[in-house]
Structure formats: structure tokens, C-alpha cells
Amino acid sequence: MASIDDVVRKQKAGAQFVISAQMLRMKPQDFDPLALSWLEEGGPGFNVIGVPHRTVVDGEFLISRVTVIRTTAPV
């Protein structure tokens, strides 16, 4: 299972990239609250940009993918 830190470390400062539930081997139900916290507070070494991609699970819209930009903050 890829960790978020592993994914972010591979990117250069200023790089834009996608983090998805599938990439982290998570269900959208588990990824959504994590992505919401990244939207509000930023993530470990990145900030969310743009509009998150949502998918419908059991009639509920959940975040399944976000586009982020790598910051210079250490991971």
C-alpha cells in the first residue's frame, strides 16, 4: 500500500499531481474525510487546488480524487 508520504516525496516543489482513493488503496468512504481535512488545512507537503472529483456511492457524493500542488514544506 502506497502511503501519502511516499507519493508526495516523489514530487518536486511546485509540481501538480493527483492523489486518488484508488492510488492509496482506500475506499471513497475512507478517502473523503481525509480529503476534506486536506481542503481545510492542507496536506503533508501539499495543498489542494481546483475542485475535487466526486463519485457517487450509495447515493452519496464522496471525494475520490484531488489535484494538489507540492509545497516546499518537509513531509
Q: Is residue 65 part of a domain?
A: yes
Residue 75 scores a pLDDT above 60: no
Q: Mean pLDDT across the chain, nearest whole number?
A: 92
Residue 74 scores a pLDDT above 70: no
C-alpha cell at 54: 466526486
Q: What is the pLDDT of residue 1?
A: 55
Measured CA to CA, the distance from residue 3 to residue 34 in angstroms comes to 13
Q: Is residue 28 part of a domain?
A: yes
- Residue 5: strand, helix, or coil: helix
Give the predicted TM-score (pTM) of the model.
0.88
Q: Is residue 22 part of a domain?
A: yes
Question: What is the mean predicted confidence (pLDDT) over 57-63?
Answer: 96
**pLDDT digit string (tens) for 13-36?**
999 999 999 999 999 999 999 999
Q: Is residue 56 part of a domain?
A: yes
Domain with 27 in it: 4-70
Q: How far is CA 75 from CA 4, 18, 51, 70, in A?
A: 9, 17, 23, 10
Measured CA to CA, the distance from residue 27 to residue 53 in angstroms comes to 14
Split into its structural domains, the chain has a count of: 1
Q: Is residue 75 part of a domain?
A: no
Question: What is the mean predicted confidence (pLDDT) over 67-72?
Answer: 93
